[in-house]
Chains A and B, each alone.
Chain A
């Protein structure tokens, strides 16, 4: 793999990581801790929304983030390293 391609792959990889980590931080540190009090004025079923985000919602998002990352990286690997992968 040449230098340019290698750089482009790494840039795409770090951009993906950055975007996913922003979501991670907004959901966990943002919605579940820093903004929990205003969010608690809303309700999901019988539970205050901020409380639910902190106890269950953020965990569902975390699982999603990892699988999105794995699938996206498969795509990147195929694009930049296609000859060795199906």
Chain B
């Protein structure tokens, strides 16, 4: 069977599985729709969080980026996993104990303010929209290559699938679909990695063969021979300060991403929240420690298969021709010497490789069986779809729960609240689809924006909300706004309006760290110069800090207290 036939079959099987789970977990009430009835076991929640979290960028782009950046690619590995430590220690247990439905819920209640709630809603929608755009591009890439359909058609198919299980099952449907998607994506990632590891080093465990074989020294030597820097040499593409800032922005952003935080509302108690953070990171680590090994293997393989070959030889490689059709891989004999050379200089290099194709093409480059290649496509789809569905639910609940129910119609019936939620999912899908067809940029870079914005808006005020009783409404609103505005201004300025990165050369990806620091300082200072929070809010913070799962003293905030 051909790769295309295998892909079609496996994609169909996986989609039927997702649809079946979505239908099985259909819900009627808002607790099921927004927080999966708070009945998800911690291990399952860990898998769902891992799938939710590992997006098209992690699955498709990350190993490619690392492969091109060498050491400097570590920012993604460390940044995207280090944040879980912050999340597990500083946020997840307290938010679970708070026990409502969304992140803006916490912000609105803790800061006794509908203005704070709206700022949080806007930030949540903004972050999720930025992020969802990257996912849809991922779906498009996979479909266009493996099913040989138009990108727009592929995006529409993806939207229908996501729409079905999120509209019907809400958070419950998404959770159990994500557990299945985690299994699909991790198997799809590990099988080719193990096969390639075995081929290149005779050791089946990529994590070990990366360290205990001569592949890294060999790659370092090849890189030097071609005029590149050593693969393992740090700070080649980015300065140390920039690496530090980007890593922190990604870590803090991870901890502040609303679709990840909301997963900790779905477990039964505080203890499960703590363990499920551990399970989540363990499952993520399975992929994230494989990625640097895969990046090394892929780079080594690509150079040794393509460099110094004639264009005829390259065209005999089936995979090279197919990727050439997508324009993500290009060959041009610029110096007319009959062979294709890879050089560090873009102007003279005769091979153009889009980092996004590294993971998807690696099994083909290594001549693995067609079903393995198809499996990778299915895994990429699982990664993109699971993250997209988590994000869509955040957008929908931000509008349906935080705006509609909490602010416009607090007397809304259960069925009405769920209906508004479903309509909002549909609405969010339409917008996400638009971004999928007209992508605003490069997958992993777009995602990096979402992290910067999450870091600069949510993280400080949630931390201070728990660990500093004195932080009040005025501080939180001022902090979120300054953090968000500063970070947006810097990112947009640098990326779109030709502004020089004036803060010690820190790039747009890393500026969220400064935004976060500004948010912390502003929130803290403004809080000290304005009235302390009301006593019942201080009491609520006390309860968050005590052990056990008893309901909050301030179970339902009196609506009169809200501004």
Contact = CB atoms under 8 A, between A and B. Distances in A.
Interface string A1-18: 100001001100110010
A42 interface: no
B513 to A, nearest CB: 11
Contacts of B71: 36, 51, 54-55
A58 B78 contact: yes
Interface string B243-260: 110011001000000000
B383 interface: no
B274 A1 contact: no
B214 A46 contact: yes
A70 B275 contact: yes
B232 A48 contact: yes
Given A50-B234, A59-B285, A73 B216 contact: no
Given A54-B77, A66-B281, A45 B89 contact: no
B289 A62 contact: no
A20 B248 contact: no
B90 A17 contact: yes
Contacts of A77: 271, 547-548
Chain B contact surface mostly: helix
A59 B289 contact: yes
B545 interface: yes
B232 A62 contact: no
A29 B274 contact: no
Contacts of B248: 29
A73 B274 contact: yes
Bin the interface of chain B by size: 35 or more
B85 A54 contact: no
Given A46-B214, A63-B285, A76-B547, A28 B278 contact: no
Given A40-B234, A46-B212, A24 B85 contact: yes
A26 interface: no
Given A21-B85, A44-B211, A62-B84, A56 B292 contact: yes
Nearest to A83: B548
Contacts of A47: 210-211, 216, 232
B278 A66 contact: yes
A33 B247 contact: yes
A54 B289 contact: no
B175 to A, nearest CB: 20
Interface string B61-83: 00000100001011001100110
Nearest to A74: B271
A67 B43 CA distance: 13
Contacts of A32: 74, 78
Interface in B497-531: none
B357 interface: no
A46 to B, nearest CB: 5
A29 B277 CA distance: 21
B10 interface: no
Given A47-B216, A54-B74, 6 more contacts: A1-B546, A28-B251, A29-B247, A45-B212, A54-B78, A69-B88
Interface of A: 1, 6, 9-10, 13-14, 17, 20-21, 24, 28-29, 32-34, 36-37, 40, 44-48, 50-52, 54-56, 58-60, 62-63, 65-67, 69-70, 73-74, 76-77, 80-81, 84-85
The 6 closest A-B pairs by CB, nearest first: A54-B74, A81-B547, A45-B211, A55-B292, A70-B274, A66-B278
